Structure 1
Amino acid sequence: MQQPHIIEFAKLGASDIGYISVSEPDGLVPFEVKRTFWTYFTPESIVRGRHAHHATEQVLIAVAGRIIVTMELPDGAISTFVLESPHVGVYIPPNAWHTMQYSHTAVQLVFASTPYQESDYIRDYSMFKQVWQSK
């Protein structure tokens, strides 16, 4: 199983002209992107996510603001990542229970390996523990 990890995209440009970061096929994202979405204007008091996926892999990027991503793997290992630079993302493997908490100005961009399918989600934490402890 691939572990959660930071992905640093190229930061091209300079402070006097601005920057661009790029994701291309066969690049840093470790899967073929099948879905892209973004979240924004999330109140700071709200914790989003609170689920795991059976199959979906994701890369989360804070293109603006700050996002605190916490993951728990099936073996109980917990990792926390603070995203606050638009050229840095975090890889979320399948089977990782994850939550995100946002600064109000945060805009989160997500690359996902599968199209949306409700049956891929495990939304109950006790079910997450049961599913992955039995494997």
Structure 2
Amino acid sequence: MQHPYLIEFPKLGAPGIGYISVTEQQTHLPFAIERIFWTYYTPESIVRGRHAHHRTEQVLVAVAGRIVVTTEMPDGQIHTFRLEDPHTGLYIPPNAWHTMQYSHNAVQLVFASQAYEEADYIRQYEEFKRVWQA
């Protein structure tokens, strides 16, 4: 069973000219990208996510602002990650229940291994426990 972990993308540049971070297919990501999406203007009082996936792997990047991600593994291990550097991503395996809370200016970029399919989502916590503890 894989666990969430941080990924450092290259940070190229200097303070006087700015920076660029890059990735190419499977250079820094442990999967081929099938879907890319981003979230923004999320009120700080809202907790998003609250789901796990059957198959989809994801890497989350806070390209602006701060995102606090909490993951729970089927064995009960809970980890909290604070994303606030645009050259750092968080790998989320399919078996991780995860939630995200955003600063008012946060923009989250997500690389996903699967195209959107509602059947891949586990949206009920009890179902997550049943599926992944079996």
TM-score tier, shorter chain, comes to over 0.9
User: Residue 3 of structure 2 aligns with which residue?
Assistant: 3
Q: 1:3, CA displacement in angstroms?
A: 1.5
Amino acid of the structure 1 residue aligned with 2:131: V
- CA–CA distance in structure 1, aligned partners of residues 51 and 24 of structure 2: 28
- CA–CA distance in structure 2, aligned partners of residues 31 and 82 of structure 1: 23
User: Residue 124 of structure 1 aligns with which residue?
Assistant: 124
- CA–CA distance in structure 1, aligned partners of residues 75 and 23 of structure 2: 31
Q: 1:26, CA displacement in angstroms?
A: 2.9
Provide the secondary structure at the position in 2 that maps to 1:109: strand
Residue identity (%) = 72
- CA–CA distance in structure 2, aligned partners of residues 56 and 93 of structure 1: 7
User: Residue 87 of structure 2 aligns with which residue?
Assistant: 87
| Alignment of 1:16 onto 2:16 | yes
- How many residues end up aligned between the 2 structures? 134
User: Residue 61 of structure 1 aligns with which residue?
Assistant: 61
User: Residue 112 of structure 1 aligns with which residue?
Assistant: 112
User: Residue 102 of structure 1 aligns with which residue?
Assistant: 102
Task: After the TM superposition, list the runs of 4 or more consecutive aligned residues in structure 1 that deviate by more than 2 angstroms.
Answer: none
| Unaligned runs of at least 5 residues, structure 1 | none
- CA–CA distance in structure 2, aligned partners of residues 38 and 44 of structure 1: 16
- CA–CA distance in structure 2, aligned partners of residues 51 and 29 of structure 1: 21
- CA–CA distance in structure 2, aligned partners of residues 26 and 106 of structure 1: 26
Matches within 5 A, 1:28-43: 28-43=28-43
Structure 2 length as normaliser, TM-score? 0.98
Structure 1 length as normaliser, TM-score? 0.97
